[in-house]
Amino acid sequence: MIDTIQLGTPDRTALLDITDLVAGKVREREVADGLCIVYVPHTTAGVMINEGADPAVMQDVANTLEKLVPWKAGYHHGEGNSAAHIKSILVGGSVQVLVEGGRLLLGTWERIFLCEFDGPRTRKIHVKILRD
């Protein structure tokens, strides 16, 4: 079974911590051990695992992606959101996290982030939990 989380994003670029939402789905499914797959079915958004203890890290990530892929750069795509598509490709659309003892097996500082690059929008996050 696939669980879907819907989340509104506040800005064009937003890196939102969704760890607790995903962990809640693991608890709801009562999975002791397995694999949790988090997938974002959008071409202008992504998902990543990175440090969540210091919010400055996500600000640095957002700022660096903007420098690498600026919003206005002579792109050809008619909708005007090519930068969001490119950032989504760089970040990726899915992550996998081991589940052990009913918990996501993340590192001490690791969190799962929804990466919005073309907001504000309502985004879907699909969560599939496989049992061992």
Q: Cite the DSSP H helix spans in 31-130.
A: 55-68, 82-91
Residue whose token pair is 């993340």: 106
Q: How far apart (Å, rounded) are the C-alpha atoms in residues 93 and 116?
A: 11
Say what percent of the chain tops pLDDT 90.
98
Q: What is the mean pLDDT of residues 26-30?
A: 96
Q: Where are the domains positioned within the chain?
A: 2-131
Q: What is the mean pLDDT of residues 7-12?
A: 98
Taking residue 90's Cβ as centre, other Cβ atoms within 10 Å add up to 14
Identify the pLDDT of residue 75: 95
Q: What is the pLDDT of residues 71-82, one digit of tens each?
A: 999 999 989 999
Q: What is the mean pLDDT of residues 14-20?
A: 98
Identify the pLDDT of residue 83: 98
Q: What is the mean pLDDT of residues 11-39?
A: 97
- Split at pLDDT 50, 70, 90, the class of 36 is very high
Q: Please, what is the average pLDDT of the chain?
A: 97
Q: What is the pLDDT of residues 82-112, one digit of tens each?
A: 999 999 999 999 999 999 999 999 999 999 9
Q: Pick one of 3.40.50.300, 2.60.120.460, 3.40.228.10, 1.10.630.10 as the CATH number of 2-131.
A: 2.60.120.460
Closest CA to 87 of 5, 28, 15, 9: 15
SS3 116: strand
Residues with Cβ within 8 Å of residue 88, at least 6 apart in sequence: 42, 43, 44, 45, 46, 115, 117
SS3 98: strand
